[in-house]
Structure 1
Amino acid sequence: MQYIYLHGFASSPKSAKAQAMSDRFQTIPIQLNIPDLNAGNFSQLTITRQINQVAAFINNSAPVTLIGSSLGGLVSAHLAKQYEQVQRLILLAPAFGFLSHWLPKLGDEAMKRWQQDKYLMVYHYGEARSLPLSYDFVTDAQQYQEDILQRPVPTLILHGRQDEVIPITASRNFADSRPWVKLIELESDHALGNVTDKIWQAIRLFCQLP
């Protein structure tokens, strides 16, 4: 079984959550692969590019467990729909309905400028600076709707009740109509920084790790 961690939007493999998971996998020890989904060019980021990047990384001969954080969770879910190698999903505050939650916060004027100028400056937490993001990100993301995610892959979702980025109702709605999905609600926000131990214990149990 391969284990692959997909970081979130405007994040990196060096994020606190990614490193915390990596450290815990090393204690077992099992290698946790953490590809850089920025691919050296955040400005041209799309969900399609991320899916293709991870698909090329998957070893056809081995089953895969994907651990996806935020937008990485959304990408993981769509990878599981397309690739039989994905045998398990662990989604940390997955970004279901990402555009519907994020774009309204930008406001109508910012959206119009983004369409006109083709690029929007977005703060990148991994780089600790603002970087331009192409409007192609939005047009590409519009095709990735949750209703098409119907492959019954064993799925564990961990989501904070105080999530200020992706409301927990997004995960509740996803889990309600899919009996193969288990949702664990945590007293935390989007970063899930205060519940790392609880997340790890849930992952160990779900994956039957030593």
Structure 2
Amino acid sequence: MNAPPPVPTSGPRWLYLHGFASGPASTKGVWLDAHWAKQGIPLERLNLRVPSMEHLSLNAMLATVRDALGAPHERAVLIGSSLGGLVAARTAEREPRVGALVLLAPAFHFVEQLQRRMGAEGWSQWQREGFLETDDHAEKRRTRVHHGIVEEAQAMDAARGVWPDVRVPTLIVHGRRDDTCDVRYSREWAQGKRHVRLVEVDDGHELTASLERIAKEADAFLAPWRGGEDTRQVFTANGPARD
């Protein structure tokens, strides 16, 4: 008879933040949930489709994450994918309850990257009509997203700077073949930061071929947060890694 998985006596909450047009049942979120469950680590997969997919709001996402962090004395580890990675970083820059980040293809320069992918005509149409037609990966259908999320992102960039000011230990895993969130932004953000480790893999935006590598890197990186100790010091990361 197999022994039950070890259960940490105490420690931070582990929260997973999915990406744009995705949901709590995303492939990466479910896979990582099962991986860490075997080690007795519960992963809470947050729902960032707030207040609704059609009226998706960056500020509502940030509020959802803040509410999930727990009491003022509690700590959390945030694992964020794509837009969820940006939300995780924006949360960490202002929330002392965040102890570490794992960012998977984070959507740094969110507005700029959206403009690049949509082109001038598509971008103007979104502004003019107010809604963008896009794929809803969680519900496997077409949906609409209000332009307000762009306006919120632009206001946030203007107020706080386009780069999140994160001071906690951070692991980034990003695919070199990512045509949604260009890896060069992760390279630029990580450069010169001793507390950031960037791992580049030969993969696209979804990173589905790199799940084992993500788990291996995250397990090693988050080792100090598995038990009860509160490890919040900035440390020297191992530098960039490439396949």
Shift of 1:148: 5.0
Give yes or no for contact 1:46–1:141 (8 Å, CA) kept in 2: no
In structure 1, what residue type is equivalent to 2:119? Answer: G
Query: In the alignment, is residue 62 of structure 1 matched against residue 74 of structure 2?
Result: yes
> Which residue of structure 2 aligns with residue 8 of structure 1?
19
Task: Identify which of 185, 201, 205 aligns with 1:186.
Answer: 201
In structure 2, what residue type is equivalent to 1:198? Answer: R
> Secondary structure of 2:106's partner?
coil
Distance (Å, rounded) in 2 between the aligned partners of 1:179 and 1:106: 35
Distance (Å, rounded) in 2 between the aligned partners of 1:148 and 1:170: 10
Structure 1 residues 107, 86: CA separation in 2 closer, same or farther (over 3 Å shift)? same
Shift of 1:64: 0.4
Task: Identify which of 41, 60, 68 aligns with 1:49.
Answer: 60
1:56-87: per-residue Cα shift (whole Å, max 9, x none)? 11102321000000000000000001110000
Shift of 1:143: 2.9
In structure 2, what residue type is equivalent to 1:68? Answer: G
Distance (Å, rounded) in 2 between the aligned partners of 1:144 and 1:22: 31
Structure 1 residues 177, 144: CA separation in 2 closer, same or farther (over 3 Å shift)? farther
In structure 2, what residue type is equivalent to 1:27? Answer: K
Task: Identify which of 186, 189, 193 aligns with 1:171.
Answer: 186
Query: In the alignment, is residue 31 of structure 1 matched against residue 46 of structure 2?
Result: no
Shift of 1:40: 5.9
Distance (Å, rounded) in 2 between the aligned partners of 1:151 and 1:133: 28
> Which residue of structure 2 aligns with residue 129 of structure 1?
141
Structure 1: gaps of 5 or more residues: none
> Secondary structure of 2:172's partner?
strand
Larger displacement relative to structure 2 (139-148 or 55-64): 139-148
Distance (Å, rounded) in 1 between the aligned partners of 2:60 and 2:51: 12
Query: In the alignment, is residue 153 of structure 1 matched against residue 168 of structure 2?
Result: yes
Query: In the alignment, is residue 139 of structure 1 matched against residue 154 of structure 2?
Result: no
Shift of 1:177: 3.6
Quick check: which has more Rg, 1 or 2?
A: 2
Larger displacement relative to structure 2 (14-23 or 99-108): 99-108
Shift of 1:49: 1.1
Structure 2: gaps of 5 or more residues: 1-11, 228-243
Distance (Å, rounded) in 1 between the aligned partners of 2:200 and 2:132: 33
Distance (Å, rounded) in 2 between the aligned partners of 1:138 and 1:59: 28
Distance (Å, rounded) in 1 between the aligned partners of 2:164 and 2:43: 25
Structure 1 residues 32, 92: CA separation in 2 closer, same or farther (over 3 Å shift)? same
Distance (Å, rounded) in 2 between the aligned partners of 1:100 and 1:39: 22
Distance (Å, rounded) in 1 between the aligned partners of 2:170 and 2:155: 22
Q: TM-score, normalised by structure 2?
A: 0.82
Aligned residues, how many? 210
| Structure holding more helix per residue | 1
Structure 1 residues 148, 97: CA separation in 2 closer, same or farther (over 3 Å shift)? closer
> Secondary structure of 1:130's partner?
strand
In structure 1, what residue type is equivalent to 2:67? Answer: A
Q: How does 1:75-114 map to 2 (within 5 A)?
A: 75-114=87-126
Root-mean-square deviation over aligned CA pairs: 1.5
Distance (Å, rounded) in 1 between the aligned partners of 2:175 and 2:89: 19
Q: TM-score, normalised by structure 1?
A: 0.94
Structure 1 residues 147, 135: CA separation in 2 closer, same or farther (over 3 Å shift)? closer
